[in-house]
Structure 1
Amino acid sequence: MGTIHHTKSSTPNIIQDLKVIIHDTITILPPQKSEKRSMFLSNIDQVLIFNVETVHFFEANPEFPPDLVAEKLKSALSKALVPYDFLAGRLRLNPESQRFEFDCNGAGAQFVVGSSEFELGQIGDLVYPNPGFRQLVQKSYDDLAMEDRPLCLTSFKCGGFALGVATNHATFDGISFKAFLQNIASLAADKPLAIVPCNDRHLLAARSPPKIEFDHPELLKIPSGTSIPNPTVFDCPEGQLDFKIFNLTSDDIARLKNEAKDGSGSNNAHNAKITGFNVVTAHVWRCKALSSGSDFDPERVSTVLYAMDIRSRLNLPPSLAGNAVLSAYASARCKEIAQGSLLKLVELVTEGANRMTPEYIHSTIDWGEVNKGFPNGEFLTSSWWRLGFADVAYPWGKPRYSCPVVYHRKDIILLFPDIVGISSNEVNVLVALPSKEMEKFEALFHKFLA
């Protein structure tokens, strides 16, 4: 019932120094020259200028030793740089417009090959956010002159290996990144692209003139005169934080769903959509809201942010690369969260998603054109739960596990699948908080599941 996977005070038997040795670093170029151009980035892309790193672990396959995998990945990446020409370019800040853009200059993407002296089975629990996993993603960032290193292959003594991917978030959201992985897998098998990407980010451009039709409390305007702001939610200092992974089993999620359904009683007129994501988000929200701060303030307003894919809501191509996500939000006073039912919180989360009409989405994008702001809330729930990175079928098999390289942030709570995959409907909740807040969060997490 809401088990703790691992805690900082009871670290599992893991090896944090993976002793990775780099053998080769090369620049992969596209097989043909493409026209140099500047690629427009939408207002959604503009606020996601930070790096995202993922690691995908594979067990040994005698038919595909790491050396062969490396050659196939080099070839696949080279071919991919034609439809994904921005990956062969560089991110830059246009001094005239003060907007980020991609300089699609064909400079190439880097590919790194390394090895570890350990076997895959020796490095410990793959679900646990091992700081050593950062060694599996080689990167080179120089302020705004960021050089993405999309692929880094690290082999283990057992024949297994890890594929590390480092990109700037401006390149992909979770959905388009999975499509990129599917294309790499398909090209590595000498097959055509699985999904032809749509690179027209003007589809999410602001209207001219901008037309802000709604209030947007989920967004924060930056101070006047600040050219490159720091995101509020996305760049919170780590500080002295404890972290824990809370595992919600299928039974736990079913229990939360039943609690929400029971709360409706004979009232079938509620607007709550009782899904796994909504009940988990509501559960995490009430635990986080009621554990924040040294003193409980019943009048304090707590706001949770959560990403919504807007492709279908705007009839955009499902293959649209880049970022087609916006932060939906739900807000309530702490006393309402403490005294109210889970159903009410699920209803508020549902309303946040329903708020994302085409009119609201366009108003949000236009707001960004005028205010150059960032998402603003008490915390962000970032869900990797059902993105399905571990479902991508490479020639050498599906990943044993796929995970983000975790940098612990107080204002980000991460949802991600368990190592057994999403079929069991289990979810891990990664929380990083100061010790006293963590104690409250943990007590509430179990109390509300009892």
Structure 2
Amino acid sequence: MTFENTLAYAKSLDEKDPLAKYREEFNFPQVNGKQVIYFTGNSLGLQPKRAVEYVNEVMQDWGALAVEGHFYAEKPWWDYHERLSEPLSGLVGALPSEVTVMNTLTVNLHLLMMTFYRPTAEKYKIICEEKAFPSDQYMIQSQVRLHGLDPKEAIVELKKRPGEHNFRYEDIIAKIDEVGDEAALVLIGGLNYYTGQVFDMRAITAHAHQYGAKVGWDLAHAAGNVELKLHEWNVDFAAWCSYKYMNAGPGSASGCFVHERYHTDKELVRLAGWWGHNKERRFLMERKFDAIESAHGWQISNPSILSLAPYLASIEMFAEVGMEKLITKRDQITAYLEYVMEDVARAVNANYEIITPKAGKERGSQLSVFLHGKGKDLFSYLMDEGVIVDWREPNVVRIAPVPFYTSYEDIFRFGEILKKADSLFHSQEE
């Protein structure tokens, strides 16, 4: 597609955008009395107006019904979490029985690792990517120690080639082959938070399974952003947060996937709790744990309804639109952002190095950019001008246009602010 970096052209794209109406479904912050240009949905999504309504509904039921709200609220609390399974399953490519919502992301990964990381003397190594998000690093290290193993021996990191920003698929496959039958688990972020690179989850899962390794995915930056087919890809388990692309609010509940082949295995090791116990017998207070034969069998405590309410409101919008339409806009608006940044760089002789892969299947709604010669000064300037982007040490600005609420006019105006910033910095240097 041939783009133009003009206001008229950007507005013409917005007029033809079938998702444009959803922009009005969100509350935008303001800076200096103006609505911000929000490019940080990969960190915290904007607030859906529906979320306020859903939370207020729970608060009203709590006030009017108190404990009886568990069974007599319009959406009874005791099975509230089950309402999220079907719409979420469509977003992650799963069966409804394979999806549950509980706790927060790293807590859920810990719980799932208790089931799926069962090291032996011969099979004990975990393969993960180098410089994974810190929570994943700490979690994996602590799980290894929990089993009395040395992280230096048990953790095998996938590495990038010197001077390259992204992982090569052939290097990942080669490392799995190298570890071979010693691999107990492969646990990788489906989309690298720093560069925005999307991994070939299907192929990596299939290759690791050849060695009998379990495969899990941290989908924090992938869920609600890229195409997922967890059931078809034969993934063992996965978890994701809800507050990034899924717009469920700060620290909101996490989604989990457990493949159906594990649902009836009552001998699996897990950290059990009564909300995972046979639903029909839960209130009999039985001594022996009888796991629900679905992903809900990994539940521990009754979930936070105030956390689930905004998540339910948001995923209903996803269900209305469908991932196919979101991905179509994602690809076009991200390409337009790339085009505008490159056009501005040529116009002002700036060096903006985009380190996110160019190939469509290897990226989602994020461009990670080195602002050579500008760095944090330019980041701070953008924030002061009402362009909300994300800084990651040592020198990356992450820019994430979100299909639900980012407009093409936002992209154009961002480009104009970039031009203004560069001329301002040049005048200061002189």
TM-score range, shorter chain: under 0.3
More strand by share: 1
Q: With structure 2 as the length reference, what TM-score do the two structures score?
A: 0.24
Indicate the structure with greater helix content. 2
TM-score for the superposition, normalised by structure 1: 0.23
